[in-house]
Every structure is written in C-alpha cells, then in structure tokens.
C-alpha cells in the first residue's frame, strides 16, 4: 500500500468518526429537546393534546434517514457507491483502450 493510499484511508476513517460524533450529538439533542417540549406540553395542558409528538415525529424521521445513510453499507449514492462507480468507469475505459 502506497503512502498516498494510507493517507486516503486515514482521511476516510477520520471523516467517518467525525460523522458518527455529529450524529450522536444530534441524537442527544433530539432527546433533550423532546423532553423539554414534553415538559412544556404537560405544564400548559396536562396532556390534553400532545402537540410535542408532531415535532418528535418530524425530527425523528430526519434522524432515521441520517442513521440509514451513516450505518447502511448499501446507502444510495454513498461514499462506497461513488468509489465503486469510479473504479468501474476506469476499468471500462482501460478495457476499451486495449481493443
């Protein structure tokens, strides 16, 4: 493995760790903020109408999509997909030049 490949591998790993850290921070923010909204909701109307669930649902959907993108190996148009396509086109071009 060349030094450049090692550096690229390191940079990808570093970016992945940064993405994970950001995601976990967003999850913690979600639960903290929803707890505050639930408290406000209970304080003002004693659960007669649980309006905070609308915010929890909307934000939760966004977190689900982010988790899918981050943890799924087959995420549509993810980094792995991009690298595979680049290699595919390079290989295809190399094979066509040989003919």
Q: How confident is the model at residue 99 (pLDDT cuts 50, 70, 90)?
A: low
pLDDT value at residue 50: 95
59 found inside a domain: yes
Question: Could you tell me the residue range of the domain that residue 16 belongs to?
Answer: 3-72
97 found inside a domain: no
Residue 48 per-residue DSSP state: S
Indicate the Cα dihedral angle 58, 63, 64, 65, nearest 10°: 100
92 found inside a domain: no
Instruction: Tell me what percent of the residues of the chain surpass a pLDDT of 90.
Output: 57
99 found inside a domain: no
86 found inside a domain: no
Q: How far is residue 8 from each of residues 14, 59, 64, 71, measured CA to CA in Å? A: 10, 34, 29, 20
52 found inside a domain: yes
Q: Is residue 33 pLDDT above 90, yes or no?
A: yes
Q: CA-CA distance, 57 to 52, in Å (whole number)?
A: 9
How many structural domains does the chain have? 1
């Amino acid at each position: 493995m060349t030094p450049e490949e090692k550096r690229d591998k390191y940079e990808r790993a570093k970016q992945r760790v940064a993405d994970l850290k950001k995601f976990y921070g967003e999850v913690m923010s979600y639960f903290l903020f929803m707890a505050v909204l639930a408290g406000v909701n209970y304080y003002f109307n004693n659960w007669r109408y649980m309006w905070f669930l609308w915010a929890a649902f909307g934000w939760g959907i966004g977190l689900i999509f982010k988790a899918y993108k981050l943890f799924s190996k087959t995420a549509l148009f993810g980094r792995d997909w991009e690298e595979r396509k680049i290699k595919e086109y390079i290989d295809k071009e190399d094979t066509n030049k040989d003919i």
